[in-house]
Amino acid sequence: MKAFVTAALPALLFACALTAASADESPTYVGPLSPSEQQFVASVKADLTARFPHASDAVKAGYVRYTNPDDTGAISYANPQYWKSDPSHPSQLWYGRDGNLMGADFSVPRPNGEPRPQLWGIDPGRWYEFNGHVHFVIQTPDGKTAYDQWVWNADFVNAGGNLSHPSAQTLVGLGRAPDAGYIKTIFEFPTLWDLIVWLVPHPAGPFHW
CA atoms within 13 A on the CB side of 14: 13
- The pLDDT assigned to 209 comes to 80
Work out the number of other CB atoms within 10 angstroms of the CB of residue 27: 19
Identity of the residue numbered 165: H
- The pLDDT assigned to 23 comes to 55
Q: Where are the domains of the chain?
A: 35-110+122-198
Q: List beta partners, residue 110.
A: none
- The pLDDT assigned to 16 comes to 31
pLDDT by 10s per residue, the chain, length 209: 444 433 323 333 332 323 334 457 999 999 999 999 999 999 999 999 999 999 999 999 999 999 999 999 999 999 999 999 999 999 999 999 999 999 999 999 999 999 999 999 999 999 999 999 999 999 999 989 999 999 999 999 999 999 999 999 999 999 999 999 999 999 999 999 999 999 999 999 999 98
DSSP type of residue 96: -
Q: Cα–Cα distances in Å, from 121 out to 29, 32, 52?
A: 14, 13, 24
